[in-house]
Structures are given as structure tokens and as C-alpha cells.
Amino acid sequence: MSRLRTALAVGATLLGTVGLPAVGSGGAQAAVTTLYVNNSAKAACADDGAGTQTQPFCTVAAAAAAVRPGQTVQIADGTYVEPVTVDHSGMAGAPITFRGPTAGQPAPYNSGWAYLGSSDKPGGGVTVKGAEHVRFEALTVSTGAQNTAVLVDGSRDVSFSQVGLTGGPGLRITNGSERVSAVRSGFSDITVDGGSTGTVLSTNTAGSVRVDGAPGTVVVSNTLGECAKGLVLTGASAGTTVENNVINTVNERGDRCDAATPAVGITVDRSATAGLKLDYNVVDSRSGSPAYDWAGTGYTDRAAFTAASGQGAHDFVEPTFRDARNRPDGLKHQFDSADENAPGMLTVDLKGNAAQDDPTVPNTGTGSGSRDRGANEDRTGGSAYTPVGPVRLLDTREAIGVPQARAVEPGATVDLPVTGVAGVPAEGVTAVTMTVTATEPTQDGDLAVRPFGYVWSSPSSLIGERETTSTLNWTAGRTVPNQVTVPVKDGKVSFFNHSGGTVHVIADLAGYYSAKGALFQPQGPVRVLDTREPIGVPSAGAVPAFGTLELPVAGATGATAVTMNVTVTEPEQEGHLTVYPHGGAAPDTSNLNWTAGRTVAGLVTVPVKDGKVSFYNHSGGTVHLVADLAGRYGADGRAAFYPAGPSRVMDTRESWARPQYRTAGVVPAWGSVTVYPAWGSYPAEVTLNVTVTEPGAEGHLKAYSAGSPNDTSVLNFAPGDTVANQVVVPMKQGSDQVTFYNASGAPVHIVVDRYGVERY
């Protein structure tokens, strides 16, 4: 099945349910509202029957001859190689409807697709001649190269929704037809001529549209082209509206078409200029032909065209390839830029999707400002970040986020609602960032934080997901925290205790991702604080017991939050660190926990106030602090977050990653290993959970995307430790790889789980 047909089939499930014949209180059957067509071998069909569900018609043509106003012809999944002519009418408020399989119908009328002809057995097409009040829904019509797939001839109030037309001339509306509409459908091409009036073509895909002598035609939110003249207006077509269309003038690979093939985006003959409104379109600039032909003169750029015609003030002439959105220099004007006030605009796109705001693109359209141009609403936009708190959402010791105070049992899962609480919206949240702490564990183990109801992928999948993905690891009796950014599903996230003993779990919310908020700007990594040096402080000196350090973060003016890798070193006594917005008292949350003399590191995303963040040493001894800035969220950010996973992308204890890179083996002392966590997507940064296990000596790990190791560390370890930390790695432009450097005198194993990427 073609991509077009697949898209239409998916969208067909959105159609309403057709009622079955009703039975009155006295037992008499009400008027028949549905005629059935099913040519399968098991259907016992008959064209001379009544078209009931138990004895359907064999052909659509037979049903077309029998159908009356107010009735629906329900066509089963299958191929019907026949010409169909509709030459009698429904009534206003009681149209005749031809409908393919839809949700809510009994099998085989509830799934699949009804084909009137096919590519290998083309049919005779559909003709609507002299008829009124006729509807076609969820059908595909395929004809030979010389035959028109659908002809509307001298008819009124005829509509097509989710209809695919292939073959020769796709759809022709002619001979004075009135008020014909085609929406959310796919056509090889469309012609409106013969004095037809009031035609609406909205949210379709088509090779080309030709309007010739057809006044009042509306051509809105269509995706047209591929090596053809996308839109041609000729003849007395006064009062035509052409808005929100995306017109591709190159082939699907983005290559120029043959030089002999005309590929002008929009052609307007002098005779068709009267009363024309042409605006908010995007015309591909790569064909080598003019973007516009206005009254016989070609224009390659929008400004010259607007100056000559007075049209297209909000048009753009630029490449229309969809992956432009993921490039720092990408051209994104087709996104979040449609005129929602244009006539014929629908509330959904070709596939039934509502508008989705892309946080990386300014909303420049009318209305909500978030509708895209063309037939397809882009659904791949990322999320923006809103800091919250920090605020405690879960503490199994105190019945916060759970019904009662109780440790998590071995192999048990805690499901935590994270939306509609603590200032987090009830809808539209894609991920949350939390500091998660495991405390009082009775046995060694690890905790997996993942989306609610997460279904693990097959171990043979490309990026190698495993049920062993983990967020933090502990030894019995030890308290261990780690930040995690985890996708949200159904408003919840889950915590799985992967150990043979009980453990208490704490979660402190830092913020959430949605369509609204601030974007990320990678910055570094750069060291912004080191109390030993001094960096970020007036003089070298440890932070005193129960003392607070206030850090002005360079470049954070106007930022809403910053992400830093914070390291605690040389602590005199055990304790924990709280990182929070400048000003006020430290909240009752923690980001890092330590024992005396131990160096620990953790990623922290913290709100910024007055360009500063604060660090509170909640211990009875002094401690030195180090902070490496990874980036900031703010008005100048350009990268959106795309939650993904958790997915295991590397484990040096076993084979991993893409087949050509599969290798198992310990990372040697002062050695490195490279992984491809976002293969080919060229992100601005990647969000990873990195675990070091079985180290033979004390040391630390460095992470970078290209070049040589930097001077910053992402986690510290002691011999025999298993230590995890969330890591944000800013990516070099054009790189899709991350290298980990073992800065220690003995081999280590490294495990990497991906939680998402930030992309432009």
C-alpha cells in the first residue's frame, strides 16, 4: 500500500458511525438507512437483492442504482473493479453517502480499505452526473492512465473526505458544478473548470491543481507538486482564494526535476487575477524554475512577486523538506504560520491531527498561531522546559505521593502521578526532571525510573533496549541520589526496585517539559565553580558546615534554569547538598548525598533567580564544591527536548549498538569508548544515564562529542563501585557520537541509557 493510502486508511477511523436499521417498539422495522456492499467469497452477495448485511450487493454500481436520499452505502474492505455512476440525488439534510470501512461498523466494514479499482486492476472510475447532495468517504479510486478517476459533471453539493484518487486525471469538477468540496484526501491531480463555482479544496495532497474559468474556488492548506506546475489559475476564475499551501517543485528526494519539466510553483494568468487572494503559501525554491508566473512574467523571489502583484505578503520561497526543522540554520516558515481565518480551513490535518505548537518556531500565523501550512501538521516538534520548585513529590518514608509510609518491596513498582500537581499542568506534559534518591536499602540493587506502563522493546532492536536499564545503583545501607529526565505517560512515571530487598524512594521535582516554556542553549561544558581554585568565588575555601554559597552563573541573565554537573569533594562529614534558586531558605530537598571523605557528582537542573543559584551544605562539616555548566534554558534557547526511552545504547560488558560497531570489552585505563546515542539526528545535546561499574581504581569519567577530552568530569568512582549519573552532553555540530574517557589507572565497564535528545 502506498504512503498516501496508508495515511488515508489511518485517518478513516475518525469517521462517525453509521446507524444500523432500527426496530420500533411494535416490532416493525424502521426505514432502511444502510445498504451493504461486500464482494468477498464468504459474503453470499447478490446484486438483485436488498443490500442487507446478510445478503449484501456484490458491486458498488448496484448499490448506487438502489440507494435513496438519507441512505448510506457501506462498502466492505476489498477491491471493486467496476465503473460507478451516481445520477440521482439525495436531499438537503438527507444526502446519499458512499462510505468505506470505518470504526464502529461490524466486520468486515470496520477496518481495511475499499478500493474501486487498483493499480494492477484499474476500474472505470466514479462519475457523479447531474446529482445533488452526495457524499464520498474513506474510499480509494484507481483508474487507467487515460481515465479520470472521479468526474463531477453538472452536480451540486458533492463532497469527498478521506478519498484517494490515483491513475490518470484524478478529480475533475466541471460543467457548472456547484459547491463541490474535497478535503483530507489524496489525488494525482485536480481540475476545476467549465464554470463550476464555490469549489473548496482543503487539506489535500495532489500533484497539481488547475482552476480554469471556475469563480470562487478555495484552495487552502494543500500540499502540492513534485515535478509539476503546482497550482495554475486561468480563465475567468474571479474571487479565488489560495492560502496556506505548500508547493513542492522538486522530486521526493529533493532533487531538481528534468529540465524539460515545467515546475513553476504558482501560475496566475492575467484573466484570473480579479478578486484573487493569494497569501501564506510556501513554494519550494530548488526547481530552477520561477516560483511564480504572474500574468506571463516569472518571479524567483517573494519580494519581487509581491511588489508586482500585491499578493503573497506572507509567502515564503524556500526549501520545503521536512527535516529542515532539525538544523540550526533550518528554514521553518511552514510551521506554526498558517492563516487560520482562511475560508475552508479545517480543525484537523490530513490524518486527523489537531494543531501542535512547535516551541522552536515563533507563532506567526493568525488565530492560535500554531497551525502549519500544507496538508500535514508536523507532530515531531519537541518540548520546552518550565522549572518548578524544587518540590518533593514522593517520599515513601512519609507517605508523600503514596497512600502510606512503606518501603518499596523487592521487585515492586511505584506509579507516581506527576501532572496536575505542584504547578505541573494536567495535560500536555511530555517529560519531567526529578532528583531521585534511594535510601535505607536492605540489599544491593538498582532503581529504574521509566514512563508509566513502559513496554520494553525487543533486545534485538537497533538501539538495543534491555529490561536492565537503570537510573541509580546502591549498596546495602547507602543513600544514593541521581537526577533523571523521564518521559511521562498518562500523567505518571514509574519506579521499579530491581533488588532483593526493600528500599525507600524520594523524588524531588525540578521541572517539566511541554509545548510551552524555555528552550535549551548548550553552553560548554565550562567550569563555573571550584571552591578549591577559586573559580566562581572570591577566594579559595571550603563551604562551611550548614553554610550557603551563592553563585552568579555567567551568561544566565534572562535564563529560567541552568543545568550543571555538580561535584562534592573532600567532605569532612556525611551529609547532602541542596541546589536551589537564589534567595530565600533552602527547601527540604536534596541533590547530592555523601559520606565523609567521598567525592560524588550529580547533574542538577535548577531554576535561576537574579542570575544566581544557591548551594546549601547540609552537613556538620566543610565541603568543597565544583560545578560544570552544560547549558541554560531561556529566551535565547533554540533546542527543544525530545523524550526517548529509556533505551540502552551501550554496555561494554556485552555486545551493543549498531551491528558494525558491536564489540564487548572493558574500557582500559586512560582509554576511551565511543557510542552513537542519537544515530544520524545531529542533536544539540543528548541526555544520558551513565553508569560506571567494576572499576579497578579510583578515578572519574569524562564525556564529550568530538575532539579531545575536556577538563570536566561527569562522575567519580572508587574501586569496586557501581555509580550512575545523568549526563547532558552538548554535541558538536554535525556529530552524532559521544566519547567516554576513563580517567583512572585501571579498566572500567561503562553502561549508557538514553532518555532523550535536544534538537534544533
More confident of the two residues 710 and 484:
484
Q: Does residue 245 fall inside a structural domain?
A: yes
Nearest one of 197, 223, 198, 195 to 209, comparing CA atoms: 223
Q: Are 154 and 131 in contact (CB under 8 A)?
A: no
Q: Give pLDDT, residue 166.
A: 74
Non-local (6+) Cβ contacts of 589 within 8 A are 389, 390, 391, 392, 435, 508, 578, 580
Q: Does residue 156 fall inside a structural domain?
A: no
Q: Is 295 in the same domain as 306?
A: yes
Q: Is 568 in the same domain as 665?
A: no
Q: Give pLDDT, residue 456.
A: 47
Cα–Cα distance, 423 to 419 (Å, whole number): 8
Q: Is 243 in the same domain as 362?
A: yes
Q: Give pLDDT, residue 465.
A: 38
Q: Is 647 in the same domain as 588?
A: no
Cα–Cα distance, 178 to 157 (Å, whole number): 6
Give 151-206 pLDDT, tens digit per residue.
Answer: 999 999 999 999 988 766 789 999 999 999 999 999 889 999 999 999 999 999 99
Buried b or exposed e, range 344-365, using 16+ CB within 10 angstroms: bbbeebbbbeebbbbbbbebeb
Q: Which of 25-34, 49-58, 256-265, 352-361 has the highest mean pLDDT?
A: 49-58
Question: What 3-state class would DSSP assign to 660?
Answer: helix
Cα–Cα distance, 251 to 744 (Å, whole number): 53
Cα–Cα distance, 290 to 311 (Å, whole number): 16
Q: Give pLDDT, residue 735.
A: 74
Q: Does residue 151 fall inside a structural domain?
A: no
Q: Give pLDDT, residue 393.
A: 96
Q: Give pLDDT, residue 122.
A: 73
Q: Does residue 181 fall inside a structural domain?
A: no
Q: Are 214 and 194 in contact (CB under 8 A)?
A: yes
Q: Are 155 and 129 in contact (CB under 8 A)?
A: yes
**Phi, psi for residue 11 in degrees, rounded to 5:** -65, -25
More confident of the two residues 60 and 555:
60
Q: Give pLDDT, residue 556.
A: 63
- The alpha-carbon radius of gyration of the chain (Å, integer) is 32
Q: Is 358 in the same domain as 479?
A: no
> 405: how many CB neighbours lie within 10 A of its CB?
12
**Grid coordinates of 612:** 544566581
Q: Give pLDDT, residue 118.
A: 74
Q: Which of 113-127, 420-434, 633-647 has the highest mean pLDDT?
A: 420-434
Question: What 3-state class would DSSP assign to 196?
Answer: coil
DSSP 450-510: EETTPPPPPTTSTT---TT--SEEE-TT--EEEEEEEE-BTTEEEEEEEESS-BEEEEEEE
Nearest one of 724, 740, 742 to 470, comparing CA atoms: 724
Cα–Cα distance, 213 to 566 (Å, whole number): 70
Average the pLDDT over 496-522 and give the result.
93
What's the pTM value of the predicted model, to 2 decimals?
0.79
| pLDDT higher than threshold 80 for residue 22 | no
Q: Does residue 178 fall inside a structural domain?
A: no
Give, for 512, the enclosing helix (H) or strand (E). strand 504-514
Going by pLDDT thresholds of 50, 70 and 90, the confidence category of residue 207 is confident
Q: Give pLDDT, residue 657.
A: 46
Q: Is 722 in the same domain as 692?
A: yes
Q: Are 656 and 662 in contact (CB under 8 A)?
A: yes
Q: Is 377 in the same domain as 388?
A: no
Q: Is 622 in the same domain as 646?
A: no
Q: Are 484 and 494 in contact (CB under 8 A)?
A: no
Q: Is 88 in the same domain as 9?
A: yes
**Grid coordinates of 685:** 545535546
- Tell me which residue range forms the domain holding 536: 519-634
Q: Are 487 and 644 in contact (CB under 8 A)?
A: yes
Average the pLDDT over 245-265 and give the result.
70
Q: Give pLDDT, residue 408.
A: 96
Q: Give pLDDT, residue 248.
A: 84
Q: Does residue 183 fall inside a structural domain?
A: no
Average the pLDDT over 438-456 and give the result.
88
**Across-strand partners of 628?**
527, 565
| pLDDT higher than threshold 80 for residue 437 | yes
Q: Is 226 in the same domain as 348?
A: yes
Q: Does residue 551 fall inside a structural domain?
A: yes
Give, for 649, the enclosing helix (H) or strand (E). strand 640-651
Q: Give pLDDT, residue 320.
A: 74
Going by pLDDT thresholds of 50, 70 and 90, the confidence category of residue 327 is very low
Last residue of a domain, one of 458, 485, 514: 514
Last residue of a domain, one of 634, 649, 664: 634
Going by pLDDT thresholds of 50, 70 and 90, the confidence category of residue 713 is confident
More confident of the two residues 540 and 124:
540
More confident of the two residues 639 and 260:
639
Give me the chain's average pLDDT, please: 86
Average the pLDDT over 340-349 and give the result.
96
**Phi, psi for residue 702 in degrees, rounded to 5:** -115, 150
CATH classification at residue 694: 2.60.120
Q: Give pLDDT, residue 253.
A: 55
Q: Is 11 in the same domain as 128?
A: yes
| pLDDT higher than threshold 50 for residue 8 | no
Q: Does residue 157 fall inside a structural domain?
A: no
Number of domains in the chain: 5
Give 470-482 pLDDT, tens digit per residue.
Answer: 899 999 999 999 9
Average the pLDDT over 726-751 and give the result.
87
Q: Give pLDDT, residue 719.
A: 93
**Phi, psi for residue 323 in degrees, rounded to 5:** -80, 5
Give 535-588 pLDDT, tens digit per residue.
Answer: 999 999 999 999 999 999 876 667 899 999 999 999 999 999 999 998 878 888
**Grid coordinates of 388:** 518548578
Last residue of a domain, one of 478, 498, 514: 514
The one-letter code for the residue type at 668 is P
Q: Is 613 in the same domain as 692?
A: no
